[in-house]
């Protein structure tokens, strides 16, 4: 009996061969040097920041080289409903403007190298596995879970390397007749790769980030097809896919580095050229005095939804990840503020990899403050509205009642050389401008943050004198300020800070204290943007209403 008979018995319906697929998926028509990258997430229903980090690298590599970036859904492992999980992947990429050139979504396919869902590629995988069986490089294994547990225990007790290799790979020496007989008897089996490697021998390979690596050869007869659903394992599926979809660069987490020898041996068994590998460092954070991996279980910021929910501008998250990707990004970005992030020439070699890639939320907040401060009032309004429409409907309806009014508020100390940087994310804005909207002011709990002047009679005195005698909504800024000074002179406060500093005992306080009283009376807050602008924007009636609350 022959391998061919065994292969036919296992895959009776497979009538195509590798050549068929090689013909079907011709080399891509791309310019010299173009890189083909892919984002290949498993639809787990959770989008990790680390995955997005890799997707950005994929995207930048493709864009840098006039190449192509595609999305492949690795759903060979999920028993759960994948539809929602796939929606999440698409929405996450889409939110950041990262559009794959090829993908499959809601039944629509863009690109000629699909299917782009692994679960739809079963026939392809079976063809390739069938071939390996025919050439004697794969075989059925009938070991039960108990037998494998027993083997592991045996190896652990003796402190041997664990795994299905060498003399432990029992089924590899089963005669074909026996294999066929067992299959015909309906015994359960997986398909394993038949390794020709020797663990004691090393080989050299290049990683785009880590440089030259010296690794032990693989000698494990690892599983390439599972028994239950006859779907391939990750190790096998991605080899076939990356080959047929013409991937030139595989960007993935460094947790895959240890299985690289397996993957390279598979490529060799087929006689295919392996793609280049870009193994990215884990994202790490400071936790007290130690540095640890950002974890799904412990850190809300591990999830991509964290950033969207809070309303970080997409540019801010991208910028903070780009600075981790290559530390010279920041400088480049400052010099080329109008260029798109993907025009930056990414160099995998310059990516720091030892000890992980440090992701810092404080740094993101800083970047985000800057990004929002540089937006025009129209941009910040549009982004805020879009966020609020999804996450805070009531606020969305309030800010959109009089769009020009809201834009004027957002424009206080904006669109100027040194704009104010008080907003970190969109969800933070209501908290800082609620007092500018009468309906929010009315229902907000009011905690007046009085400063040095906190005697209520004196406060009333300042407020009434100012508003009865001086306040005029039409004043320009200079007049306004002069009037506040006059008010100070009238009430015994220093209108000149210098004079006050020289002889504080001559005054009840200074113009700064008096301004604070007016500011707090109107907004309840001791820290606000420019008071003149606030007084100018609020209507006369609204101001009166607020004054009466104090009087």
Q: How far is the CB of 357 from ligand GLU (least distance, A)?
A: 17
Choose which of 6, 14, 40, 538 interacts with ligand GLU (CB under 6 A): 40
Q: How far is the CB of 40 from ligand GLU (least distance, A)?
A: 4
Give, to the nearest 10 degrees, the angle between helix 49-64 and helix 314-325.
Answer: 80
- Please identify, using beta-carbon distances, which residue of 250 and 375 lies nearer to ligand GLU: 250
Nearest to 229 by CA among 77, 100, 116, 357: 77
Q: How far is the CB of 26 from ligand GLU (least distance, A)?
A: 23
- Please identify, using beta-carbon distances, which residue of 98 and 364 lies nearer to ligand GLU: 98
Q: Which two tokens stand for residue 191?
A: 């398909």
Task: Give burial (CB, 10 Å; 0-12/13-18/19+) of 536.
Answer: middle
Are residues 490 and 516 in contact, defined by beta-carbon separation less than 8 angstroms? no
- Please identify, using beta-carbon distances, which residue of 121 and 414 lies nearer to ligand GLU: 121
Q: Report the site for ligand GLU in 72-91 (rule: CB under 6 A).
A: 74
Q: Which two tokens stand for residue 201?
A: 């021998």
- Please identify, using beta-carbon distances, which residue of 38 and 194 lies nearer to ligand GLU: 38
- Please identify, using beta-carbon distances, which residue of 40 and 412 lies nearer to ligand GLU: 40
Q: How far is the CB of 208 from ligand GLU (least distance, A)?
A: 14
- Please identify, using beta-carbon distances, which residue of 209 and 462 lies nearer to ligand GLU: 209
Buried (b) or exposed (e) across 108-139, using 16+ Cβ within 10 A?
Answer: eeebebbbbbbbebbebbbbbbbbbbbeebbb
CA–CA gap between residue 40 and residue 35 (Å, rounded): 16
Total residues contacting ligand GLU (rule CB under 6 A)? 8
Is there binding between residue 41 and ligand GLU (CB under 6 A)? yes
Choose which of 126, 252, 279, 519 interacts with ligand GLU (CB under 6 A): 252
> Using CB under 6 A, which of the segments 39-47, 92-100, 189-197, 329-337 binds ligand GLU?
39-47
- Please identify, using beta-carbon distances, which residue of 78 and 155 lies nearer to ligand GLU: 78
Element at 366 (helix H, strand E): helix 361-373
Element at 270 (helix H, strand E): helix 260-270
Q: Report the site for ligand GLU in 224-243 (rule: CB under 6 A).
A: 234, 238
SS3 232: strand
Cα of 157 vs its chain's centroid, Å? 42
Q: How far is the CB of 234 from ligand GLU (least distance, A)?
A: 6
SS3 252: strand
CA–CA gap between residue 124 and residue 237 (Å, rounded): 9
Choose which of 7, 36, 37, 42 interacts with ligand GLU (CB under 6 A): 42
Is there binding between residue 192 and ligand GLU (CB under 6 A)? no
Binding site for ligand GLU (CB under 6 A): 40-42, 74, 234, 238, 250, 252
């Amino acid at each position: 009996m022959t391998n061919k008979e065994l292969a036919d018995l296992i895959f009776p319906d497979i009538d195509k061969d590798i050549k068929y697929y090689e013909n079907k998926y011709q080399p891509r028509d791309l310019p010299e040097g173009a890189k083909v990258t892919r984002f290949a997430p498993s639809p787990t229903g959770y989008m990790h920041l680390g995955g997005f980090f890799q997707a950005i690298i994929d995207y930048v590599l493709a864009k840098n080289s006039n190449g192509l970036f595609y999305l492949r859904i690795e759903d060979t492992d999920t028993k759960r409903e994948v539809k929602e999980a796939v929606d999440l992947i698409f929405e996450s990429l889409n939110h950041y403007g990262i559009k794959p050139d090829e993908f499959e979504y809601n039944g629509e396919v863009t690109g000629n190298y699909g299917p782009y869902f692994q679960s739809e590629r079963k026939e392809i995988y079976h063809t390739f596995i069938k071939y390996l069986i025919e050439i004697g490089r794969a075989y059925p294994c009938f070991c039960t879970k108990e037998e494998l547990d027993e083997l592991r225990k045996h190896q652990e007790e003796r402190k041997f390397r664990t795994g299905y290799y060498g003399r432990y790979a029992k089924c590899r020496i089963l005669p074909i007749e026996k294999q066929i007989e067992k299959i015909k008897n309906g015994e359960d089996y997986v398909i394993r790769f038949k390794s020709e490697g020797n663990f004691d021998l090393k080989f050299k390979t290049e990683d785009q980030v880590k440089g030259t690596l010296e690794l032990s050869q693989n000698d494990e007869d690892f599983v390439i097809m599972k028994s239950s659903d006859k779907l391939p394992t990750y190790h096998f599926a991605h080899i076939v896919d990356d080959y047929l979809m013409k991937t030139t660069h595989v960007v993935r987490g460094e947790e895959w580095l240890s299985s690289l020898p397996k993957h390279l041996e598979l490529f060799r068994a087929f006689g295919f050229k392996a793609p280049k590998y870009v193994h990215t460092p884990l994202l790490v954070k400071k936790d007290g005095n130690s540095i640890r991996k950002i974890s799904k279980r412990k850190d809300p910021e591990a999830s991509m939804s964290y950033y969207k929910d809070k309303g970080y501008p997409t540019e801010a998250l991208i910028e903070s990840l780009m600075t981790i990707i290559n530390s010279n990004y920041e400088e480049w970005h400052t010099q080329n503020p109008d260029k798109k992030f993907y025009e930056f020439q990414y160099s995998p070699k310059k990516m720091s990899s030892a000890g992980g890639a440090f992701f810092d939320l404080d740094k993101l907040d800083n970047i985000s403050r800057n990004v929002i401060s540089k937006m025009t009032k129209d941009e910040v309004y549009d982004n805020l509205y879009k966020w609020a429409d999804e996450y805070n409907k009531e606020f969305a309806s309030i800010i959109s009642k009089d769009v020009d009014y809201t834009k004027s508020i957002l424009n206080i100390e904006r669109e100027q050389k040194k704009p104010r940087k008080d907003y970190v994310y969109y969800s933070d804005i209501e908290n800082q401008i609620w007092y500018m909207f009468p309906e929010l002011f009315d229902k907000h709990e009011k905690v007046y943050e009085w400063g040095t002047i906190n005697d209520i009679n004196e406060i009333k005195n300042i407020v009434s004198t100012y508003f009865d005698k001086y306040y005029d909504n039409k004043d320009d800024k200079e007049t306004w300020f002069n009037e506040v000074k006059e008010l100070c002179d009238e009430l015994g406060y220093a209108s000149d800070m210098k004079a006050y500093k020289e002889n504080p005992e001559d005054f009840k306080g200074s113009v700064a204290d008096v301004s604070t009283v007016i500011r707090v009376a109107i907004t309840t807050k001791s820290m606000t943007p420019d008071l003149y602008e606030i007084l100018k924007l609020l209507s006369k009636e609204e101001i009166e209403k607020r004054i009466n609350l104090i009087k």
